[in-house]
Amino acid sequence: MRTAQIISIVDDDEAVCIATSALVRSLGWQVNIFGSAEAFVQSGKIADTACLVSDVRMPNMSGVEMRDHLLQLGYALPTIFVTAFPTAKLRATVIKSGALALLEKPVDAGELEHYLSLALGQP
């Protein structure tokens, strides 16, 4: 195992949550998964999260809205957004908000590993 750091994955698509968590575990990190932004915000696990991997488009609260809410609460988590609908405008919005990256679904394992390593300060 790389570290005891926990990656929190937030996606309303259960299959994506399961696949992404399996990938992150295979890379050696611990994972918590959440089916909505609200579930993560209300989980009590924000402070335990070393890096957040979140879908952008979710019902009720988007990934970007969740990140803004977390910042208002004082949590500036390194964040990697994922989406099936990448656009130049969306990429600019998430990068401007301070996110590390916007990755396209299905997520490339090497690309996700690169950004997780970057977020967690590991080679």
**Is residue 109 situated within a structural domain?**
yes
**Is residue 102 situated within a structural domain?**
yes
- Is the pLDDT reported for residue 16 higher than 60? yes
- Is the pLDDT reported for residue 1 higher than 60? no
CB environment 18-53: b (16+ within 10 A), e (fewer): ebbbebbeebebbbebbebbbebbeeeebeebbbbb
Domain that includes residue 83, residue range: 6-119
pLDDT-above-90 percentage for the chain: 89
**pLDDT category of residue 3 using cuts at 50, 70 and 90:** low
Q: Rounded to two decimals, what is the model's pTM?
A: 0.95
**pLDDT category of residue 58 using cuts at 50, 70 and 90:** very high
CATH number of the domain at 11, please: 3.40.50.2300
